[in-house]
């Protein structure tokens, strides 16, 4: 079956057949370059109108009890369970990730829905001891307002759901600007939400709206003072533009930007685990996860053995059509990505790197698609090229002799998303997790850098943007906190013992 016919089947499944064929924006599959659909894009006036409608939805939704809001997300979770296969296939078709990862992305959406349903009964504030007699202090968490979500191509559905499920139970409508490279997945998510909303019955209109098109639509969300929170996932370049503009109008932003994630392998490490952990994290999604392992910092004592095993694993990796059983590595998203990968490999070689792999594959069968053999590059030092995020499967290898040196290398990059150590030495593991260890938002022991569970807060430091999404207390980003003091006495004592008798 061709990618176009699979797309037609899936779009019909989601009831999007006609709507996705008559628009002005061609959607191409990275699998073979074929045009999958023609979607209609929105203009700036549509963006303004969507924000106005979202504002109206907010006024109704914020007063609906949170557990009832949770019911809507429970129904979305059910819709996702029912359509897991179809949505997973669509994600694969549009991004080129293998089906197992496409399905995994939908599972993550189901998981966050379950999490958010529980959360809808746990949006707790504190009670706080007052210094004044006959007084009580407490915190109340209220819905925040319209949430603008800007998302990247590589997780076209999960990133939306992390934000959406929490925003909705917290009482906020969402206006979503998905990546221009993956509008079909976004349209399917919207269709699933509408199905859930219909079953729910009395949800206000426009709790969920889509803006399909280029970055200007995202910029509109960024600049509009009615958008209380801009949650933006993408490159550091994008975050650098978005953050000051949102700050300028005193809006809130939640940034999930680029990573340059490292794995440290120490002499005591279980190399079987390390090889599997590194291979999945370095080549999964063809190196296009924000948490992809891009740097391997390995002790000189085990370097030769580990690199030899990784090279062997890389040489046998099944690269090809992501919907075919057995494939582990699909294509890069597009030609620009391929060019960026080749440019990084040339620069690394000029800096003294020894490159294995990285060449284009399957060019004769798919001249309009960009399949590559993932690359391993043995570097003499952590050069500028290594310190940059190239969104492609390149694993830079650096040696070390002293654990402190490994930690210094690990932290000496501008990004701070994910990190891992493979070790059986308790001192090394605990040092890695300590205040003087990894400076990343995610630090793991004996597992790779990618594939986070939704229960934890997800995000990173430095140029990764500092935002936290998903589990733990990330919900607080989507609410505003009010501190309340209640006086149930007959006197009016002032705080700090101040006297002011009138
Ligand atoms: P990108 O920055 O090119 O685009 C991301 C989104 O931002 C798109 O929807 C785009 O239209 C929009 N956009 C771009 N410039 C904008 C601007 N000035 N104002 C408003 N919107 C703007 O990123 P991409 O190529 O789609 O994704 C890859 C990048 O995303 C990588 O750097 C990766 O590490 C990062 N990423 C990070 C996370 C995370 O959680 N930290 C998750 C996924 C991807």
**ipTM here:** 0.98
* Residue in this structure with the two tokens 């379950």, named with its chain if needed: 114
Ligand 1 site, residue 258, Cβ cutoff 6 A: yes
Token representation of residue 277:
């952990």
Residue with CA nearest ligand 1 atom 19: 219
Q: What is the 217 CA–ligand 1 centroid distance (Å)?
A: 13
- Polymer length of the chain: 502
User: Atom of ligand 1 at shortest distance to CA of 179?
Assistant: 9
Q: Please tell me the distance from the alpha carbon of residue 382 to that of residue 487, in angstroms, as a whole number.
A: 61
Q: What is the 152 CA–ligand 1 centroid distance (Å)?
A: 4
Whole-number CA gyration radius for the chain: 24
Give me the helices (H) in 212-261, please: 215-223, 236-248
Ligand 1 site, residue 235, Cβ cutoff 6 A: yes
The pLDDT, as a whole number, for residue 473 is 97
Q: Please tell me the distance from the alpha carbon of residue 200 to that of residue 197, in angstroms, as a whole number.
A: 5
| Residues with active-site annotation | 256
Of 400, 373, 360, 379, give the one whose Cα is nearest residue 311.
Answer: 373
* Residue in this structure with the two tokens 């300590």, named with its chain if needed: 434
DSSP for residue 62: T
User: Atom of ligand 1 at shortest distance to CA of 155?
Assistant: 43
Bridge partners (DSSP) of residue 293 are 261
Q: Is 289 left (phi over 0), alpha (psi -120 to 50) or beta?
A: beta
Three-state DSSP class for 293?
strand
Question: pLDDT 10s digit of each residue in the chain, 502 long?
Answer: 899 999 999 999 999 987 788 899 999 999 999 999 999 999 999 999 999 999 999 999 999 999 999 999 999 999 999 999 999 999 999 999 999 999 999 999 999 999 999 999 999 999 999 999 999 999 999 999 999 999 999 999 999 999 999 999 999 999 999 999 999 999 999 999 999 999 999 999 999 999 999 999 999 999 999 999 999 999 999 999 999 999 999 999 999 999 999 999 999 999 999 999 999 999 999 999 999 999 999 999 999 999 999 999 999 999 999 999 999 999 999 999 999 999 999 999 999 999 999 999 999 999 999 999 999 999 999 999 999 999 999 999 999 999 999 999 999 999 999 999 999 999 999 999 999 999 999 999 999 999 899 999 999 999 999 999 999 999 999 999 999 999 999 999 999 999 999 8
Contacts of 89 (CB under 8 A, 6+ apart): 6, 10, 99, 102, 323
Is the separation of the CB atoms in 348 and 383 below 8 Å?
A: yes
Angle at 249 between CA 246 and CA 254, to 5 degrees: 30
Ligand 1 site, residue 255, Cβ cutoff 6 A: no
Ligand 1 site, residue 461, Cβ cutoff 6 A: no
Bridge partners (DSSP) of residue 256 are 233
């Amino acid at each position: 079956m061709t990618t176009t016919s699979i797309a037609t089947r899936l779009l019909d499944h989601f009831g999007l057949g006609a709507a996705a064929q008559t628009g002005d924006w061609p959607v191409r599959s990275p699998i073979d370059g074929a045009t999958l659909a023609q979607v209609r894009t929105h203009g700036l006036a549509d963006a303004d109108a969507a924000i106005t409608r979202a504002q109206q939805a907010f006024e109704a939704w914020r007063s609906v009890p949170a557990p009832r809001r949770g019911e809507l997300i429970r129904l979305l979770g059910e819709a996702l369970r029912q359509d897991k296969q179809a949505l997973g296939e669509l994600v694969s078709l549009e991004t080129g990730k293998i089906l197992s990862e496409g399905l995994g992305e939908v599972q993550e959406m189901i998981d966050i829905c379950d999490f958010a349903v529980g959360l809808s009964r746990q949006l707790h504030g504190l009670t706080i001891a007052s210094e004044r007699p006959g007084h009580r202090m407490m915190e109340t968490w209220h819905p925040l307002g319209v949430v603008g979500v800007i998302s990247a191509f590589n997780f076209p559905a999960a990133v939306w759901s992390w934000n959406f499920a929490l925003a909705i139970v917290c009482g906020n409508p969402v206006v979503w600007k998905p990546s221009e490279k993956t509008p079909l997945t976004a349209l399917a998510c919207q269709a699933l939400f509408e199905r859930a909303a219909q079953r729910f019955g009395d949800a206000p209109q426009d709790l969920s709206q889509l803006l399909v098109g280029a970055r200007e639509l995202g910029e509109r969300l960024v600049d509009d003072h009615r958008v209380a929170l801009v949650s933006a996932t993408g490159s550091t370049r994008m975050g650098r533009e978005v953050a000051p503009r949102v700050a300028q109008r005193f809006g809130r932003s939640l940034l999930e930007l680029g990573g340059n994630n490292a794995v440290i392998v120490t002499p005591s490490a279980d190399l079987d685990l390390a090889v599997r952990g590194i291979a999945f994290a370095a080549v999964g999604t063809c190196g296009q996860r924000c948490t992809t392992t891009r740097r391997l910092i390995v002790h000189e004592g085990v370097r030769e053995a580990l690199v030899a095993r990784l090279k062997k694993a890389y040489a046998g990796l099944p690269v090809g059509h992501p919907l075919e059983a057995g494939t582990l590595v699909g294509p890069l998203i597009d030609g620009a990505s391929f060019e960026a990968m080749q440019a990084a490999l040339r620069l690394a070689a000029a800096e003294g790197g020894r490159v294995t792999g990285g060449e284009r594959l399957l060019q004769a069968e798919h001249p309009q698609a960009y399949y590559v053999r993932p690359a391993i590059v043995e570097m003499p030092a952590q050069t500028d090229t290594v310190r940059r995020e190239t969104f492609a499967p390149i694993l830079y290898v650096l040696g070390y002799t002293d654990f402190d040196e490994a930690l210094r290398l690990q932290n000496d990059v501008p990004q701070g998303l994910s990190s891992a150590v493979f070790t059986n030495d308790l001192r090394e593991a605990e040092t890695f997790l300590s205040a003087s260890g990894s400076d990343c938002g995610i630090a793991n022991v004996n597992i790779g850098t990618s594939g986070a569970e939704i229960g934890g807060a997800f995000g990173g430091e430095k140029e990764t943007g500092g935002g936290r999404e998903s589990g733990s207390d990330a919900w607080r980003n989507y609410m505003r906190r009010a501190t309340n003091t209640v006086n149930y006495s007959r006197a009016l004592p002032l705080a700090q013992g101040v006297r002011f008798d009138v």
